[in-house]
């Protein structure tokens, strides 16, 4: 009887501390305000209505105090593709926040961190893995014609976009 009371007390303490941890962690739906939704703990706005070039897409996201998504985890890409498929948003390609506009071949996110190259995020074009466009293609999009793997597009292409609200 006594030990079960201690157990209940401990359970209450753990429950309570877990609740505090969750409230402080940016992984819950209720911290992603509309139009952003929680995907893998990130607040994303997958917009398939707007179609614009990469710079305009950054400005568009800026209007929501956000920027193009820093898509730096393979799990996040998988969850985004699941969301795109589930919500029927497969007709568009989507800008994300990677580019090599500053220096050809040096791919960075909008926060200046490096884009991880190769598998599993970058798609293949025949035998060659993206990026394959050299100086003509300096912005990263999720390619609807290749299962939404990364592709280097011309930055002036007008496609849809994914904004991320950084918490």
If you count DSSP H runs as helices and E runs as strands, how many of each does the chain have, helices first? 3, 9
Closest by CA position to 95, among listed 44, 37, 134: 44
CB 67 within 8 A of CB 110: yes
Among 67, 100, 143, 164, binds Ca ion (CB under 5 A): 100
* Count of residues that interact with Ca ion, criterion CB under 5 A: 2
138 binds Ca ion (CB under 5 A): yes
Applying CB under 5 A, the span of 60-68, 93-101, 106-114, 143-151 interacting with Ca ion comes to 93-101
Applying CB under 5 A, the span of 6-14, 32-40, 61-69, 92-100 interacting with Ca ion comes to 92-100
Nearer to Ca ion, 53 or 100 (CB): 100
Q: Provide the strand spans (E) within 81-127.
A: 94-99, 124-125
Task: Please provide the distance, in angstroms rounded to a whole number, between the alpha carbons at the two ends of the chain.
Answer: 46
- Tokens 């992603």 correspond to 32
Closest approach of Ca ion to the CB of residue 106, in Å: 9
139 binds Ca ion (CB under 5 A): no
Is residue 49 within a helix (H) or strand (E), and if so which, with residue range? strand 42-52
Nearer to Ca ion, 70 or 138 (CB): 138
Closest approach of Ca ion to the CB of residue 134, in Å: 6
User: CA 47 to CA 83: how far, in whole Å?
Assistant: 12
164 binds Ca ion (CB under 5 A): no
Using CB under 5 A as the criterion, which residues of the chain lie in contact with Ca ion when the complex forms? 100, 138
């Amino acid at each position: 009887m006594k030990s079960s009371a201690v157990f209940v007390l401990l359970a209450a303490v753990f429950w309570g501390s877990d609740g505090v941890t969750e409230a402080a962690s940016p992984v819950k739906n209720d911290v992603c305000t509309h139009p952003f939704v929680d995907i893998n703990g990130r607040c994303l706005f997958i917009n398939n209505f707007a179609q614009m070039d990469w710079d305009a897409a950054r400005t568009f996201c800026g209007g929501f105090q956000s920027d193009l998504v820093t898509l730096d985890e393979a799990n996040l890409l998988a969850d985004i593709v699941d969301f795109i498929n589930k919500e029927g948003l497969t007709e568009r390609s989507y800008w994300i926040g990677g580019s090599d506009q500053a220096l050809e071949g040096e791919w960075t996110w909008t926060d200046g961190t490096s884009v991880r190259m190769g598998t599993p995020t970058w798609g293949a074009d025949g035998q060659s893995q993206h990026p394959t466009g050299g100086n003509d293609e300096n912005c990263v999009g999720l390619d609807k014609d290749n299962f939404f793997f990364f592709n280097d597009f011309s930055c002036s292409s007008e496609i849809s976009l994914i904004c991320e609200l950084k918490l």
